[in-house]
Chain A
Amino acid sequence: GAGVSQTPSNKVTEKGKYVELRCDPISGHTALYWYRQSLGQGPEFLIYFQGTGAADDSGLPNDRFFAVRPEGSVSTLKIQRTERGDSAVYLCASSLTKAGGFPNEQFFGPGTRLTVL
Chain B
Amino acid sequence: AQTVTQSQPEMSVQEAETVTLSCTYDTSENNYYLFWYKQPPSRQMILVIRQEAYKQQNATENRFSVNFQKAAKSFSLKISDSQLGDTAMYFCAFGWSNTGKLIFGQGTTLQVKP
Contacts and interface: CB of A to CB of B under 8 A. Distances in A.
Interface residues of A, number: 29
Contacts of B95: 103
B42 A110 contact: yes
Given A110-B43, A111-B43, A42 B106 contact: yes
Contact of B102 (A40, A89, A106, A111): A106
Contacts of A56: 99, 101
Interface in A41-72: 41-45, 48, 55-56, 59
Nearest to B98: A101
Contacts of A40: 107
A55 B99 contact: yes
A105 B50 contact: yes
Interface string A78-117: 0000000000010101010100011111111111000000
A43 B50 contact: no
Interface string B94-108: 011111111111110
A31 B104 contact: no
A43 B91 contact: yes
B47 interface: yes
B30 interface: no
Contacts of A97: 100
B33 interface: yes
Given A41-B106, A41-B107, A103 B100 contact: yes
A102 B53 CA distance: 13
Interface of B: 4, 33, 37, 42-47, 50, 91, 93, 95-107
Given A42-B105, A102-B97, A108-B44, 12 more contacts: A42-B93, A42-B104, A42-B107, A48-B101, A93-B45, A95-B100, A103-B96, A105-B50, A106-B47, A108-B46, A110-B43, A111-B43
